[in-house]
Amino acid sequence: MKQYIGIIIILMLVAGLVAGCNGGSSTPEKTSVLEGSGISTPSDATSAPTGSDSPTPEGFSETASESTPVVSSDTDVTGETPAENPPAQSIPTSPQQTEPVGSTSSTSTPSAGIIEILVTDAPPGYEITSVKVTVLGVEVHQAVAEQAQDQDRDQDGEGDQNKNKNKDKQKSQGNGKGVAGNDESTPTPDDEPSDESDAVVEDNSDDADGNGSWIQLDIEGTFDLLLVQEVSEVLGTDFLDPGKYTQIRMTVDSVIVEYLHGTSSGTQTAEVPSGKLKFVRPFNIESGQTTSLLFDFIADKSINFTGSGKVIFKPVIKLQVSEPVPTLNITTNSLPNGTVAEFYSTSLEAAGGTTPYAWTWSGTLPGGLNLDATTGVISGTPTAAVDYDFTVQVNDSDSQVDTQALSISISAAVSPLEITTTSLLAGKEGIGYSATLAAAGGTTPYAWTWSGTLPGGLNLDTAGVISGTPTAAGSYDFTVQVDDSDSQVDTQALSISISAAVSPLEITTTSLLAGKEGIGYSATLAAAGGTTPYAWTWSGTLPGGLNLDTAGVISGTPTAAGSYDFTVQVDDSDSQVDTQALSISISAAVSPLEITTTSLLAGKEGIGYSATLAAAGGTTPYAWTWSGTLPGGLNLDTAGVISGTPTAAGSYDFTVQVDDNDSQVDTQALNISITE
């Protein structure tokens, strides 16, 4: 399953009831009074199917019934065919209508007989008890993005063409559908759809579609139309990638119709469409959301009995799409600050849900501000400087709600912004320059810019610092501008004079002599260029007992041996500066380093061993190492301890070395004998 997918649900619903299926009872009678006769007759009667088992009304013989003049559903009470036939009933349910009598005779002759005209409403010919529809597959069509829009625009036109074709076909066929014995006008499952159906029967040639691709859903099943009347049943669900889909296809494999006919019952396999049922209806799949497609069967117009005893399933289906509504969410999580007596306006934003939105608030808005319920705009002129906390709420048209805690900080009115720097110090070519501009009033932070001509090599940053190394002598005029955080602005005309260059200042001392502990030390630092006199300083660590004076002399008596790193700096009279990293090594007067261990005890295989090497002289701490072959299992650490458990007997020769803290070194050849 893909990480980001949507869900599609296929549901079935029967909106129209199958005639004769409402609890097994017949349709309630609708009668009209025959003119002048006082006799009622059914007003909605239709032709019965050939071979109907409908009972003959009491007191009538079969012969008498057949000889009675019959007015079919294709004729009116005068016996003439109407100019335009009414639509045929899909499922015939009542006996043939007898011709109405206008009046009864008021005179008689002795030889005359009496004729009595009766009417009746026979029970329905077919009472359907089950319609089991088996769907073997459902597919959806995902068009490429740019072509999908074209298909949407063409949808209405295609639907109109289908409707016009259907109307023309109905007119040419007349109203014989479903009438017994009139097979030439009997409907077929592949007929053009009626105006009430969204389904179109697609032949196999329609499988090739260059505008996207068909996706087979893992949805199939069997459902009974009579059990989903006015309720929806889930046929199945599947997962789809998010996106826009434009069409749906359904494969109806079989339709089994069970019915009662008089006192007998029967089961008939209906003829189904030869191709797939296609529905052109765009819908969207959203990540993690469910889209429902409801196929609403109009059952009484989908099942057709023919005069030849066939049952035709010509589906009349309306497709309803229910897409998820995105969750309503306020996307504004902070608001800009304001200033007393300055107009304030900001818009709240939300996403999802169903527009239009309605905004409200609770808590404390800054005095002078208000929230527009329709637009979500907070606006007005603040009257007091303080921080205000409040909560906004948005309601959409589908009763979704979201809230967000917000705050607005209102600051006091500020004094006018003003640049207080009115002049700048002169500089020298080739010598580093730095000057900081100043301003007062307004609201910090400030942002500085400039226009005109700054000396080459100099620049003004947004913090108001002019810095760099001038590259050419001259007088330079320019204008600086400062902007504060409340959009106040001030400008100031300034100039900088750059004088001709002098030679660069450079420290020429790059190293110093070593010294010894307790012996007087003196060294003089040297520099060139710049403008004398020079002034020397230092940072870091000078040897104890030594000092550097402003004339550049390092002198004194070292008190401790060691290596000392420090940095010296020289400043000339024109503010040129140079630095140099230096070091002084001070050694101590110590005795020579010597290893005093000249032999080692023997050891035994498998028994722990330990011996400590010794040295004298030099400067501690010592560091010990070895070369050659130590007994297996033994090792020498830097503290001079040989330890471990010997793993093999033998005589082992090796050399140890000791280094002291003043870089003195001594070595000693040694041997360890390991016995079994």
| Domains held by the chain: number | 5
Do 208 and 312 lie in a common domain?
yes
Do 396 and 492 lie in a common domain?
no
Compute the Cα dihedral for 54, 57, 62, 68 and give only its sign: negative
Do 559 and 616 lie in a common domain?
no
Structure tokens at 116: 């009595």
| CATH number of the domain bearing residue 654 | 2.60.40.10
Candidates 411, 368, 363; CA nearest to 387 is 411
pLDDT tens digits for range 508-529 = 999 999 988 877 899 999 999 9
Mean pLDDT of 162-183: 38
Q: Which residue in this structure is represented by tokens 């003195």?
A: 664
Q: What is the pLDDT of residue 411?
A: 86
Phi, psi of 301 (to 5 degrees): -110, 0
Position 452 in a domain: yes
Q: What is the pLDDT of residue 347?
A: 97
- Considering only residues 620 and 173, tell me which one the structure prediction assigns the higher pLDDT: 620
Do 188 and 247 lie in a common domain?
yes
pLDDT tens digits for range 232-263 = 888 889 898 888 899 999 899 999 999 887 77
How many Cα atoms occupy the beta-carbon half-sphere of 254 within 13 Å?
A: 8
Which residues, listed in sequence order, are joined to residue 648 by a DSSP beta bridge? none
Candidates 369, 373, 363, 362; CA nearest to 337 is 369
Do 537 and 624 lie in a common domain?
no
Position 42 in a domain: no
Position 44 in a domain: no
**pLDDT at residue 603 above 90?**
yes
User: Using an 8 Å Cβ cutoff, are 597 and 668 in contact?
Assistant: yes
* Among 411, 443, 466, residue at a domain's last position: 411
**How are strands ordered across the β-sheet holding 427-428?**
427-428, 489-499, 474-483, 447-452
Q: What is the pLDDT of residue 611?
A: 95
- CA distance linking residue 6 with residue 217, whole number of Å: 13
**How are strands ordered across the β-sheet holding 609-612?**
609-612, 641-644, 634-636
Of 56-65, 209-218, 569-578, give the range with the top mean pLDDT: 569-578
Position 79 in a domain: no
Share of the chain above pLDDT 90, in %: 45
Position 37 in a domain: no
Position 24 in a domain: no
Q: Is 26 exposed, middle or buried (0-12, 13-18, 19+ CB in 10 A)?
A: middle
pLDDT tens digits for range 88-118 = 333 333 333 334 434 444 444 455 544 344 4
- CA distance linking residue 48 with residue 91, whole number of Å: 9
User: Using an 8 Å Cβ cutoff, are 446 and 483 in contact?
Assistant: yes
Do 144 and 243 lie in a common domain?
yes
- CA distance linking residue 231 with residue 213, whole number of Å: 32
Do 431 and 563 lie in a common domain?
no
Share of the chain above pLDDT 70, in %: 72
Lowest mean pLDDT among 1-10, 185-194, 474-483: 1-10
Mean pLDDT of 658-676: 91
The three-class DSSP label of residue 183 is helix
Do 132 and 196 lie in a common domain?
yes
Which range marks the domain in which residue 528 is found? 506-587
Q: What is the pLDDT of residue 8?
A: 63
Q: What is the pLDDT of residue 200?
A: 87
- CA distance linking residue 617 with residue 595, whole number of Å: 9
Structure tokens at 674: 């390991």
Do 287 and 186 lie in a common domain?
yes
* Among 411, 446, 480, residue at a domain's last position: 411
pLDDT tens digits for range 383-399 = 998 899 999 999 999 89
Candidates 104, 56, 54, 50; CA nearest to 72 is 50
Q: What is the pLDDT of residue 207?
A: 53
**pLDDT at residue 174 above 70?**
no
**pLDDT at residue 206 above 80?**
no
Position 115 in a domain: no
What is the DSSP code string of 347-358?
A: E--EESS-SSPE
Q: Which residue in this structure is represented by tokens 């009430």?
A: 196
Position 46 in a domain: no
Do 569 and 617 lie in a common domain?
no
Do 191 and 230 lie in a common domain?
yes
Q: What is the pLDDT of residue 196?
A: 76
Structure tokens at 288: 């993690």
* Among 562, 587, 612, residue at a domain's last position: 587
Mark 472-494 as b/e (b = at least 16 C-beta within 10 Å): eeeebebebebbbebebebebeb
pLDDT tens digits for range 290-331 = 888 888 888 778 888 877 778 888 888 888 888 877 889 999
Candidates 413, 415, 496, 494; CA nearest to 448 is 494
Residue 454 pLDDT class (50, 70, 90 cuts): very high
Mean pLDDT of 656-660: 94
Lowest mean pLDDT among 117-126, 314-323, 326-335, 404-413: 117-126
The three-class DSSP label of residue 204 is helix
User: Using an 8 Å Cβ cutoff, are 257 and 130 in contact?
Assistant: yes
Do 370 and 233 lie in a common domain?
no
Phi, psi of 63 (to 5 degrees): -70, -45
